[in-house]
A and B are shown apart, each in its own frame.
Chain A
Amino acid sequence: MAQDLFVPGEEVADISDQLRGHGITTNDTHLVSSLCGISSQLHKLTFMTSFKTWYQPRVGDIVIGRIVSIEGRKWKVDVGAPQHGRLMISSVNLPGGELRRRDQTDELNMRSFFIEGDVLSAEVQQTNQDGSFTLHTRSERYGKLEHGYFARTESYLVKRANRHIHTLDNGVGLIIGVNGRCWISGPRPMAAGQGESTKDMADAVLSVDRLRGVARTARAIEELTAERKFVTLESITARLADM
């Protein structure tokens, strides 16, 4: 497939016997790009792939989001997608790991779990045709994130990987959400049998060196984002070594 960079209004290809795909319009003689991105051609189909897009949720993605509203039996979570994600009350763990049906008391006590503004890590449970999606935190690895810094990068700079929860060499805990949100905090505790947890050490008082490590990690992510480079554990570690 041929790949070239185009801006809106730029002629992409000759109009003759070409099919126009996403992001392509036409003038009298040529196919014209309607967005910034890379042109791709598949047989006779020409389409554009833009750089900067909303995060598109996929089942299994680890995301970091912020609670924006509490509604009947669910929370709405902003993860940077076109729609807010839904976190159902049945998709969160009850305190003490109870296994039972959620009743009206639980619904009235939703604020004891999450309130507006809380940051949490979750996994995409289900996506629908209309773009809506649901999240869940039914694992020790997910839940409220309380003692750290919420950093942002772009979702297209984050590659899907086997692991998104890391502890850096400087002792800083890092979660790289597939949606381009990152959480930087103290060292991550271990969840029973499930590797590193996303939960913070509650009320941890970090040393000055650790705090400095958090600031440097946030700065590394900011620089990689500004340079349009992929934000991965390796790239962040390399950037920290250069600082």
Chain B
Amino acid sequence: MAVLLSQGEKNFLAQMIASNIRIDGRTRTDIRPVCLEVLHANDEAPEILADVSCRASIGKTRLLVGISLAIETPAPHAPDQAILRISWMNSAANEPTPEQTETYELYTDILHASLIAKGGLDLSSELLAPFPGEKVWAVSVDILVFDDADGGVLDLSSLAACAALADLTIPAVREKDGAVIIDEEDRKPLDGAPPLVTTVGMFQQEFAADMTGKEEATARTVVHIASRGGRVGLVRTRGLGAILPAQLTTAVELAMGVEQRRSVA
């Protein structure tokens, strides 16, 4: 849901951040615990339609990421690459505003770029593109947002998507008499681990990680950083404030520290 704040509330929250106190008692660099539950479609749970799904929550923010596979004809502009699609859905009680729809489009770009960044999904691999130019796997990442009250939607989506992809196995594909046959018994896991997206907000001169919805609405500039194992794959900024190179370095270092803590956990 859209967070509507008055200027006075934003000033108050910014003052709290500047004093290294947040409304929930954390400091600027403290992160909230994340709950991830990965589920597979199998005989015991036939109601799960996706190949792998991951239910995630942080604070009151809850979402579900489902990953589905299908054999399709590749895109004309990338005939030797698999297809990666990301879609967002909101629950009926959480309809997005037009501004939020724009934000979700940005999230799609960031998530897409982070998942195929170096170390992530190799869309040209033989596993994902068994018959380049003819048939490839289409990986659909569907994100259903139940509640975004506590912010951190992009971070949580990235965590859930990476957790689901870590458990995803791709069936072997063979060609027989001109038809494509999928061998469900012969499955292989994906190589690599995509970078995790971490969002850092800049207030006045300070940075805070793992922001709530109100803090995201208050931040002058929001920086999204995709990183894994000390390597940065993507940096994207959002907001009205300008950011200096030294400040960007601070934001990246903070994000990498958060990513390390989340990866270990």
Contacts and interface: CB of A to CB of B under 8 A. Distances in A.
Nearest to B5: A117
A61 interface: no
Contacts of B8: 118-119, 144-148, 200
B60 to A, nearest CB: 10
A68 B23 CA distance: 24
Contact of B24 (A119, A145, A185, A215): A215
Interface in A105-144: 116-119, 144
Interface residues of A, number: 25
Interface in B40-55: none
Contact of A211 (B4, B9, B15, B24): B15
A88 B44 CA distance: 60
B88 interface: no
A149 B6 contact: no
Contact of B6 (A146, A214, A218): A146
Q: What range describes how many residues of B lie at the interface?
A: 10 to 19
Contact of A219 (B6, B7, B9, B24): B24
Interface string A74-109: 000000000000000000000000000000000000
Nearest to A150: B9
A200 B4 CA distance: 20
B25 interface: yes
Contacts of B16: 211, 214-215
Interface in A11-62: none
A90 to B, nearest CB: 23
Contact of A208 (B5, B9, B13, B19): B19
A206 interface: yes
Contact of B12 (A116, A117, A147): A147
Interface string B109-135: 000000000000000000000000000
B11 interface: yes
B21 A147 contact: no
A215 B21 contact: yes
Given A215-B22, A218-B23, A118 B15 contact: no
Given A119-B6, A146-B6, A218-B23, 17 more contacts: A68-B4, A117-B4, A117-B6, A119-B8, A119-B9, A146-B7, A148-B8, A149-B9, A149-B12, A149-B13, A149-B23, A150-B9, A205-B15, A211-B16, A214-B23, A215-B24, A218-B24
26 contacts: A66-B4, A116-B4, A117-B6, A119-B6, A144-B8, A145-B6, A145-B8, A146-B6, A146-B8, A147-B8, A147-B12, A148-B8, A148-B9, A149-B13, A200-B8, A206-B15, A208-B21, A211-B19, A211-B21, A212-B21, A214-B16, A215-B16, A215-B21, A215-B22, A215-B24, A216-B25
Nearest 6 A-B pairs (CB), nearest first? Answer: A146-B8, A118-B6, A117-B4, A117-B6, A211-B21, A208-B19
